[in-house]
Chains A and B, each alone.
Chain A
Amino acid sequence: MLKYVADSLVYTLMGIKQGTMLGEALNFFLYDTMKVFLLLTVIIFVVAVIRSFFPPEKSRKLLANRREYVGNFLAACLGIVTPFCSCSAIPMFIGFVEAGLPLGVTFSFLIASPTVNEVALVMLWGLFGWRIALLYTVTGVMLAFFGGIIIGKLKLEHLVEPYVYQIKMGETAAIVPTWRERLWYAWEYTKDILGRVWLFVLIGIGVGAWIHGYVPMDFVLRYAGPHNPFAVIVAVLLGIPLYANAAGAIPIVQALVEKGLPMGTALAFMMSIVAISAPELIILRKVIKLKLIAIFVGIVALAIIVIGYLFNMLL
């Protein structure tokens, strides 16, 4: 359906010949834009409704006093469904520590939460298909699981700011929203997210369309193909400062994959964009020492590099 709309817009209405570079690029741009915005609107809304059933206060109760392994796995899964905004990172971190969660379990949550996020999932699903989106989700949960376990094993509790252990949490009756409220908040959230990412998505798809139409085939293969042993490392290091542009980066990555970028390198790049974000690290600095932040970034980056090489071998 969308393909038909894009075809008739470009080839019939604008009268651009099929098979020309301009035609290809324009068609690609229009088709992807329609598909991505449709998916973004629907999925973000659905995810927001689901999330209204998993407030962080509930996740905290579910995780309280869990041991390692089971706790890490549960935390990684809850990290996906619990609504998380960086402005709540501090109360959540303190609340989890106060509930007796081991540090490693808390970190499993903190890794999964931004890594497996709905915007990245929609972009992956829309542009790479559901298999890659699912693979990404499973990998993200594994990253959070193992990352948390390693941080737990290192016994770094002394690197948490001492005041965190002083805080006592109060009790409050759980607020259960009505269905009307759930839908209303979900719609507000969808508008908010769309308002924040639409420009990046458009730019990303635009650049992707340009690559699609104008960059010669196998161009990427020559520089970042399987023959370059450092490609994954460079991709992960490049991804770290790119936070908040995940929505825009994925269409570009897709075009690069088409031109020969190996899938493992591509996945590692996307993961490092979302998993490690400067704004979140700056906020976390208020509750943990710089050394722990460095260890956290190091472990996550290393794990993503391993994931990249692994998928390059397997896929």
Chain B
Amino acid sequence: MRIEVLGMGCATCNKLYEHALEAVKLSGKKAEVIKVEDIQKIMSYGVLSTPALVVDGVVKSTGNVPRIEQIKEWIKK
């Protein structure tokens, strides 16, 4: 499983990254969490508001930091 955190290095982006790491740890799933800071890559997902969370290529959230519980739900499926 591949989890991407889109954002150009702002404070909220780092918070989302930490939430994603924590969610992976809690779910016990094998998943890699990657920070995507390249603007072309961010835009290729059709995202305008960062931070955004992408799970296996699917955009799950944009412009805010979802709860760890919420991210866990997305990873489970």
Residues of A within 8 A of B (CB): 55-57, 60, 83, 85-88, 90-92, 94-95, 98, 166-173, 175, 184-185, 188-189
- Residues of chain B at interface, number, CB under 8 A: 26
Residues of B within 8 A of A92 (CB): 48-49
Q: Closest residue to B64 on the A side, CB-wise?
A: A185
Residue from A94, A171, A175 in contact with B39 in the complex, judged by beta carbons closer than 8 Å: A94
Interface pair B39/A90, CB less than 8 Å apart: yes
Interface pair B45/A88, CB less than 8 Å apart: no
Residues of B within 8 A of A (CB): 7-8, 10-13, 39-40, 42-51, 59-65, 67
How long is the Cα–Cα vector from A133 to B12 in the complex, in angstroms?
A: 30
Residue from B7, B43, B59 in contact with A87 in the complex, judged by beta carbons closer than 8 Å: B7
Interface pair A169/B43, CB less than 8 Å apart: yes
Of A55, A85, A87, A184, most buried by chain B (CB within 10 Å of CB) is A87
Of A91, A166, A171, A175, most buried by chain B (CB within 10 Å of CB) is A91
Given A56-B63, A91-B50: A169 and B8 within 8 A (CB)?
A: no
Given A57-B49, A83-B49, A170-B46: A91 and B59 within 8 A (CB)?
A: no
Residue from A57, A83, A175 in contact with B60 in the complex, judged by beta carbons closer than 8 Å: A175
Residue from B11, B39, B64 in contact with A91 in the complex, judged by beta carbons closer than 8 Å: B39
Residue from A57, A166, A184, A189 in contact with B62 in the complex, judged by beta carbons closer than 8 Å: A57
Given A87-B12, A87-B13, A91-B39: A168 and B44 within 8 A (CB)?
A: yes
A-B contact pairs, 7 of them (CB 8 A): A87-B7, A166-B40, A170-B43, A170-B46, A175-B61, A175-B62, A184-B67
How long is the Cα–Cα vector from A251 to B24 in the complex, in angstroms?
A: 46
Closest 8 CB pairs of A and B: A87-B10, A172-B46, A56-B48, A170-B46, A170-B44, A95-B48, A172-B59, A88-B49
Interface pair B39/A88, CB less than 8 Å apart: no
Interface pair B46/A91, CB less than 8 Å apart: no
